[in-house]
Structure 1
Amino acid sequence: MNSSRISMSGVLVASAASLVLALTACGSESSAPTSGSAAQTTPAPSTCPTAVPEGDGEPEWTLSGTTGSVSVTGSTESSAPLVDVEAPFAVTETQVETLQAGTGEVVADDAEVSVCYMGVNGRDGSVFDSSYERGAPAEFPLDGVVAGFQKAIAGQTVGSTVAVAMNAADGYPDGQPRAGIQAGDSLVFAIKILGVTG
């Protein structure tokens, strides 16, 4: 079993910012919030916890795939999430699990959000990108990210901690070489929705 903890910085892509751009590729060129009274914003925390989770408590979500399995423990106020992968892990359909429900506003399909996230490759259990590692959240419009990421966040409430196991079609069907993602790889994300920024 491969335990993907935040301390695995050696497996992160050299330029994590470029992957965030890859997640948002093909999205709108403008990330400015819409004007008018319909655009509400929720202030978001400015940091993501970087500490490794303490203890070996029960995971909040365990999922068996078509091959392998994954278990996820969401982040807390003081620690990053923990994603344990029995590799190779793969799913044929994207599955979303709310680990901890937030109490904020519902996130619209086209909202601009601020999130902390960790991305893990199901093929080998490696962390390929993590805002927790950087200690800072990422902001982007949901209509500019890969489909599985949007499915995980849209319809959730601000403050929620969410996990998603996405099939290749909802992630990078042709792979993402900069992140070490090959064609056909299933991906797992642990996400904390910090706020709606636009």
Structure 2
Amino acid sequence: MAAVNAFRTSSVAVVACAALSVMTLAACGSDSDTATASTSSSPVSDVFTPPSIPETKPEDSPCPPAAPANTGAPEWTLPGATGSVAVTGATDKTAPQIDVEAPFSVTETQVQTLKAGDGPVVAETATVLVCYMGVNGRDGSVFDSSYQQGAPVDFSLDGVVPGFQKAIAGQKVGSTVAVAMVPADGYPEGQPSAGIQPGDTLIFAIKILDATSR
């Protein structure tokens, strides 16, 4: 898998910023972050700027771009300190849906398993292959989505912001999960290129396709 550095923090810039267990977010999300494609042996692109993706027919992609049908009640509804969020996970044919009553914020990061997989448990330092959609709680906008790109991305969990690691580590491969993360677990100083301001709560719907432990 070609590594994708989702949510880089200060020692390798969220793979460059620091190893996730000890990383600080002081320098993350700055305008100096640039998107680069690379192999798993060197820092690569921020998840907010997806890497080059091979052409894939939408119907053949594990990250289908089709909007979900009206399936009734969402799988997760979370009232926040302000606003609320409702999440419906992806299916084999459709992308997830994240509906926000803005501005939405939380005072602690919360993770919800939408559908449990039956694969191996994902280690904290695993390299994972995922489909994801990220939404800003401040205004409900989608700031990044591999579903829009139509292909999954891969990255090491010890090179991502804490909220993304908290959402995935300990889950089983095949699971779909959602996370609402406090700014300290995402980009406390903002990420201007993605429209993220300091203090924004971020929400992700994630489908875990594979994981490789080191």
Give the structure-1-normalised TM-score.
0.80
List gaps (5 residues or longer) in structure 1: 1-19, 33-44
CA–CA distance in 2 between the matches of 1:150 and 1:131?
17
2:144 aligned partner: 129
Alignment of 1:46-125 (within 5 A): 47-125=62-140
1:57 deviates by 1.2
Which of 170, 177, 183 is equivalent to 2:192?
Answer: 177
Please identify runs of 4+ aligned residues in structure 1 that moved more than 4 A: none
String of CA shifts for 1:12-40, please: whole Å, max 9, x gaps: xxxxxxxx6461434269725xxxxxxxx
Counterpart CA distance in 1 for 2:73 and 2:176 is: 16
* 2:76 aligned partner, one-letter code: W
Cα deviation code 1:99-138 (max 9, x no counterpart): 0000000000000000000000000000000000000101
- 2:40 pairs with 28, 31, 39, which one? 31
Amino acid at match of 1:97: Q
Separation in structure 2 between the aligned mates of residue 144 and residue 30 of structure 1, nearest angstrom: 14
RCO greater where, 1 or 2, for CA within 8 Å and sep 6 or more?
A: 1
1 CA distance for matches of 2:92 and 2:6?
A: 28
Residues 64-83 of structure 1: CA deviation (Å, up to 9, x unaligned): 00000000000000000000
The equivalent residue for 2:175 is 160
Whole-angstrom CA distance in 2 between matches of 1:187 and 1:105: 27
User: As a proportion of its length, which structure holds more helix?
Assistant: 1
- The one-letter amino acid of 2:151's match is A
Q: What amino acid does structure 1 have at the position aligned with 2:194?
A: A
> What is the identity percentage for the equivalent residue pairs of Structure 1 and Structure 2?
69
CA RMSD across the alignment:
1.8
Within 2, Cα distance between the matches of 1:31 and 1:105?
Answer: 22
Structure 2, unpaired ranges of 5+: 17-37, 42-59
Report deviation, 1:46: 5.8
Kept in 1: contact 2:134–2:145 (CA 8 A) = yes
Matched residue SS, 1:23: coil
